[in-house]
Structure 1
Amino acid sequence: MGLEGVVWKLYSISNGIMKLIYLNALWIVFSLLGLVAFGFFPATAAMFAVARKWVFGETEIPVFKTFWKTYKTGFLQTNIIGFISALVGILLYVDLRFFQNSEHVLLSFLAFFIIFALFIYFAAVLYIFPMYVHFDFKTLEYLKQAIILVIGKPLNTIMIIVGSYLLYVVLSMLPVLWIFISGSLASVVLMWIASKSFPRHEFQAGGVE
């Protein structure tokens, strides 16, 4: 590789990093604009919408325009999806603590089923936003389809969980990255892994444009 090739490679890498930083900044700012509670889910969906474009080769898209369109049009729907998902997670955790603290043998045994349900739940949550920006379903259908995907494609499910864990390890080793690219990098990685689980003929169908 000649000098020109090295320079171009460095430019491509630095340009990619700057895009990740910019997208992460948009995610943080728009989460705050929604007072966090109501801004986090729309901002996360918008971030995944941009990540989807990048994953499928559309690297020169207008980032802000793509982000803002998804944030605005999906504000209500993503909040409904997000809060229902959060509520399910809370209920599962409360049930787990209840069964674990129970002195009844049968109830204690049921804790293992809740742990399994939490595993399915966690994996489904990782799929929800990639599915939201890729498919056009009714609101609650995203939750249903995410669970079906988790159960129907166990190898892909393991892959997305392992990928999330490895990403967490890398970010933990370099804490400064949490501020600058944690969200945007996670969205790209999860979108790429999740896309491998989607039907091939539907890769360009539906979704948020």
Structure 2
Amino acid sequence: MQIGGVAGGIYKVCDWLMKLAILNLIWLLFVVMGLGLFGVFPATVAMLYVLKCWVRTEECKTFSYFASVYKQSFVKANLLMIATVAVGAVLMINMVIVQAMEGLLRVILQYGMVFLFLLYCIVALYIMPVFSLRPQGVRATIKRAFMVSFLHPVRTGGFVAGLGLFSLVIRSIPGMIPFYGASLIGMLTILMITPILDEKEGKKDGQEEHRRQRERDVKNDIWEVRNDTT
């Protein structure tokens, strides 16, 4: 039974809010199952997979699909988490060291460290969606996140602004955190970043198919030449 008009719109909003709340609770459950810190990245990857299915209106059983992705990505996601946290820790330590310096060198290095830290934060925003679209090694994921974030500065700015607005809402209504703290950020990520990655994947797949077609054409030409010579 389909509901149209204003009532239909309200029904869809309520349905999405209910699904996002359930997904957030599942995310919290799997974070706890991963002993907290080691459950955050794989649970986030699984959540993004589920959200992509919903946005694309693909059929998937939420809990079983979430659990499957969580299990498959657990090791790689945690390696990515360790690398991301390690880089952030090194930057923070360097910033503390720079603060202890004096003179002009401190000013120059301070501005440099602030720039590097902002660069790190921007790239870190893209790491999870990039990994969730196509799981790769740590180096490949970070490199791709860096490229995508700086090739689309406007969308990156919109994404950061959306996160800022969400943080203001959460601070005003902290009771939302257990039900929407992760799932709404995940939905914002899917809506803002995934279209870029899908477009790039489509172009990449198209280029790969074009390359394969050219190879097939070359092989056919060689076969025809051989037939002609015989």
Whether these two folds match at TM > 0.5 is: yes
What's the CA shift string for 1:121-179, capped at 9, x where partnerless? 11111111111111243332111111122223222222221121111112222211112
Distance change (3 Å), C-alpha of 1:201 and 1:86: closer
How far apart, CA to CA, are the structure 2 residues paired with 1:195 and 1:203?
Answer: 12
Offset of residue 4 of structure 1: 5.9
Identity %: 28
Query: CA RMSD for the aligned pairs?
Result: 2.2
SS at match of 1:35: coil
State how many pairs are aligned.
Answer: 203
Give per-residue Cα distances to partners, 1:66-116, cap 9 Å, x unaligned.
211110000000000011101111111111122123114213311111111
Structure with the greater alpha carbon radius of gyration = 2
24 and 204 in structure 1: CA distance in 2 versus 1, 3 angstrom threshold: farther
Q: Report if aligned partners of 2:42, 2:70 keep a CA contact under 8 Å in 1.
A: yes
CA distance in 1, matches of 2:20, 2:56: 16
Are the aligned partners of 1:46 and 1:68 in contact in 2 as well (CA < 8 Å)? yes
Contact 1:100 1:108 in 2 (8 A): no
Distance 1:199 1:46, change over 3 A: closer
Which blocks of at least 5 consecutive residues in structure 2 are unaligned? 206-230
**Structure-1 residue corresponding to 2:75:** 76
The structure with higher relative contact order (CA 8 Å, sep 6+) is 1
Q: Please state how far the C-alpha of 1:6 moved relative to its aligned partner.
A: 3.8
Q: Does the 8 A contact of 1:31 with 1:40 survive in 2?
A: yes
Alignment partner, residue 94 of structure 2: 95
Q: How does 1:104-115 map to 2 (within 5 A)?
A: 104-115=103-114
